[in-house]
Amino acid sequence: MSSQQMTVGWIGLGNMGAPLAARLVKVGYDVQVWNRTAAKAQPLVDEGASVGETVRDLAHREVVFSMVSASKDLEQVMLDPEVGLLTGESVPKIVVDCSTVSVETSKKIREAAAERGTRFFAAPVSGNGKVVAAGKLSVVCSGDEETFQLVQPMIESLGRSVTYVGDGEAARLVKIYHNLLLGIYTQALSEILVLGEKAGVKREAVMDFINNSVMGCIFSQYKTPAMVNLDFHPTFTPILLRKDFDLGLAEARKHEVPMPITNMTRDIVESSIGHGHEQDDFATLLLIAAANAGVELHSENADVTDGLDPQ
């Protein structure tokens, strides 16, 4: 059976899950979705997906993707004895999980899935909802190679790049490393922008130079409207970033690797939550850096782009 003919289930329609599931619908897969807050499924239905009333309604799908918040949430949707996908009468052939979760949780679910004859594949991602919509998502994945070959076309249709890093939980680690860099980079950017602010240099000018230099990157361009115009509409929340720092620092302790900058950044992310930004974008790290310097920032109302709008 070709990948395109396989039936698909999708669990979790948050900032990431909804646009990712929509991509599979758009390229022609038969997709059935489920979300804890049922109302979030309506836009997917409008695009052609069907809806399951329970997680287990998706058990008859050949491949089920999941995209939920944290390790405990993934364990709940997969392994809960009453409602879990992998604990009912029927189970899907393959589960592909895109959430950012711990190695331990991933391994536990892989083992439970194997006992039921389900192949479990890890495919965490880099990008935000708008990145997904623009077709620029990157996926890092791990699991057995045969399963990779079966799901590769589906995963490729989620974005622009797929990096297969081997068997087991390797992709979980690579994704966690990625998010440590994400937080540290954003914190460093925040600090220099506040330094410039105090010296009277516009954030737009600093970002423009960085974006056009070797220090700039696709990500600095993404975050330019946030940094310049204080657009903190959430793409990724500090709560989720703190979770990833905690996963990374647990790895650091396990391997006895000192990570002083990572530790410090984790606490700054925590202080952004303490300052009430838990529902905002994690780029509110800029506001914490400003507050620490006694500076009040205002939008520069500049004509800047995140680089994601269609040309």
Contact set with ligand NAP (CB under 6 A) = 12-17, 35-37, 40, 67-69, 73, 76-77, 99-100, 125, 127-128, 235-236, 240
**Cα separation, 5 vs 206, whole angstroms:** 50
Residues linked to residue 125 through DSSP beta bridges, in sequence order: 139
Report whether 160 contacts 137 (CB < 8 A). yes
In whole angstroms, the minimum distance from the beta carbon of 100 to ligand NAP comes to: 4
Which CA distances in Å does 135 have to 12, 64, 142?
Answer: 19, 21, 21
Tell me the residue nearest to ligand NAP as measured from the CB: 14
In whole angstroms, the minimum distance from the beta carbon of 283 to ligand NAP comes to: 11
**Cα separation, 205 vs 49, whole angstroms:** 45
Q: Which of 39, 31, 76 is nearest to 57 (CA)?
A: 31
CA angle 33, 38, 42 (to 5 degrees): 65
Q: Nearer to ligand NAP by C-beta: 16 or 268?
A: 16
Extract the tokens encoding 123.
């495919």
In whole angstroms, the minimum distance from the beta carbon of 83 to ligand NAP comes to: 9
Q: Nearer to ligand NAP by C-beta: 37 or 213?
A: 37
Q: Which of 310, 133, 286 is nearest to 224 (CA)?
A: 286
**Cα separation, 244 vs 170, whole angstroms:** 15
In whole angstroms, the minimum distance from the beta carbon of 111 to ligand NAP comes to: 20
Q: Nearer to ligand NAP by C-beta: 129 or 143?
A: 129
Q: Nearer to ligand NAP by C-beta: 108 or 202?
A: 108
Q: Nearer to ligand NAP by C-beta: 36 or 275?
A: 36
In whole angstroms, the minimum distance from the beta carbon of 234 to ligand NAP comes to: 8
In whole angstroms, the minimum distance from the beta carbon of 40 to ligand NAP comes to: 5
Q: Which residues of 223-247 are buried (b: 16+ CB within 10 A; e: fewer)?
A: bbbbbbbbbbebbbbbbbbbbbbbb
Q: Nearer to ligand NAP by C-beta: 130 or 202?
A: 130
